[in-house]
Amino acid sequence: MSDYSDIKDMKAWLEGERSGVALALNTARGGLRILETLGVIGRQGLGWALGNRPPVPALLRTTFESLGTTYIKLGQFIASSPSIFPEEYVEEFQRCLDRTPPLPFHYIRDTIERELGQPLEELYQSVDPKPLASASIAQVHAAKLKNGQDVVVKVQRPGVRNVLLTDFNFLYFAARITERLAPGLSRSAISGVVEELQAGMLEECDFIKEANNLKAFNAFLRDTGNTRAVAPEPVMSHTTGKVLTMERFFGVPLTDMNVLRKYTDDPAETLISALNTWFSSLMLCDFFHADVHAGNLMLLEDGRVGFIDFGIVGRIRREAWDGMAKFFDAIGRGDVRQMAEAMAVIGMTREEVDVDALTRDIENLQGVLGQVDPSALVQADRNDKEVNRLLMDLVKIGEGHGIRFPREFALLLKQFLYFDRYVQVLAPEMDMFSDNRVDIFAGLDDNGGGMLH
């Protein structure tokens, strides 16, 4: 009996030691990361002192790119948030790219085996050592399960979560100091933005949550009788917080017109399926896909629209979408005054809005909208720039009238503008707003209740 107790005590001691070692290692890594961050900032500051003085937005962008994952993501957040950040910063951070060199395959193997607890060969029939995609948070590989099913395996890069936590704690601390030293900045809630971004990025690092998003989206499709769209089904037996195995889709990107026509005689119908699915998800699903850029929408070989990459999702209150729906409805009918009235409702302001003056300014913006080259959409880098340019113009008009938009509006409008440009590229003969096959307000009835038209 005493031997048994001794063994239990020894196991408890070992577990305690292991936890202590892990904590010490994480603390050490965190300290090293802070030193690395301060080193990069110091080098940039020295360059500035020695006369290398590019514009501040450009200096900040290059510094962010030198600091890696967290700061690149923060730069992309700035680029897509003209309702929060100054125009010159939004413009500059359009150039903030997230193209990460691929990890050697042995890192991928090690992570999979450690997370799933078995040798790679016992888990999969095969895994292609060459990645399909490589980004700052994860790397994706094609694979086959033992039963022959084609899948993709999304594997988190080593140490990413710890780097994110260290970086964001450092950023939050710096933001709080900045707000105390310059009280006028507190109105922009810098620390609040940091907290929001940290929560979003840490959620993106939790592959169990992404797997649950995939399952929930497919459940939403089944519940609404939607057979025209689909998301990959996760393989939960081969999924953890750092490894996500899911069904592999075969098809073509929705923006490749030349290849698309080989799969369908009616690109417009494919777009309508994607549009109706996304709009109905705003009210009938717990979340909406918040990153519908080129590459995350596919036309599958069986004719369905595939929605992929659910690491970034958004949520919106019914009341907020009701106001935005009126705004989109006004766009569709060309009712500029209703657009102005809706903007006054959606935006946060204590001032009386001159709706007549706002209407005149929006009329000028509509002329700019009509001059955008739709073919720019199929090029990812120019696509983001075009979409953000339009968004910045709209936000700037609102701010000129004392209106500040909530970020949920900017996020939704960005996705909406993507779809608007997609229509012009793939089905220019179709009027998205007047076509009775497109239901922009799916999920909203006259009383704000949910329904699928």
- Closest of 137, 64, 98, 80 to residue 314, by C-alpha: 80
Q: Could you give the CA distance from residue 436 to residue 141 in angstroms, rounded to a whole number?
A: 41
Query: Are 238 and 201 within 8 A, CB to CB?
Result: no
Query: Residues 380, 381, 385, 391: is their CA dihedral positive or negative?
Result: positive
Q: Which amino acid is at 316?
A: I
**Nearest-10 Cα torsion for 68, 70, 75, 77:** 150
For residue 296, what are the contacts with CB-CB under 8 A and spacing of at least 6?
Answer: 289, 307, 308, 309
Longest dimension (CA), the chain: 87
Q: Could you give the CA distance from residue 247 to residue 441 in angstroms, rounded to a whole number?
A: 31
Q: Could you give the CA distance from residue 408 to residue 402 in angstroms, rounded to a whole number?
A: 18
Q: Among residues 6, 9, 167, 291, which one is catalytic?
A: 291
For residue 301, what are the contacts with CB-CB under 8 A and spacing of at least 6?
Answer: 250, 251, 263
**Nearest-10 Cα torsion for 224, 226, 227, 229:** -130
For the chain, how many residues are written? 453
Q: Could you give the CA distance from residue 288 to residue 274 in angstroms, rounded to a whole number?
A: 12
348: DSSP letter: B
The beta-carbon contacts of 194-200 under 8 Å, at least 24 apart in sequence, are 194/168, 197/73, 197/74, 197/77, 197/168, 198/164, 198/168, 198/172, 200/312
Q: Could you tell me which residues are beta bridge partners of residue 133?
A: 140
Residue 431 catalytic? no
Structure tokens at 164: 């994110």
Q: Could you give the CA distance from residue 210 to residue 140 in angstroms, rounded to a whole number?
A: 14
Can you give the C-alpha Rg of the chain in angstroms?
Answer: 24
Q: Could you give the CA distance from residue 69 to residue 173 in angstroms, rounded to a whole number?
A: 19
101: DSSP letter: P
Query: Are 93 and 78 within 8 A, CB to CB?
Result: yes
- Closest of 314, 305, 323, 310 to residue 286, by C-alpha: 314
Task: Give the residue numbers marked as catalytic.
Answer: 291
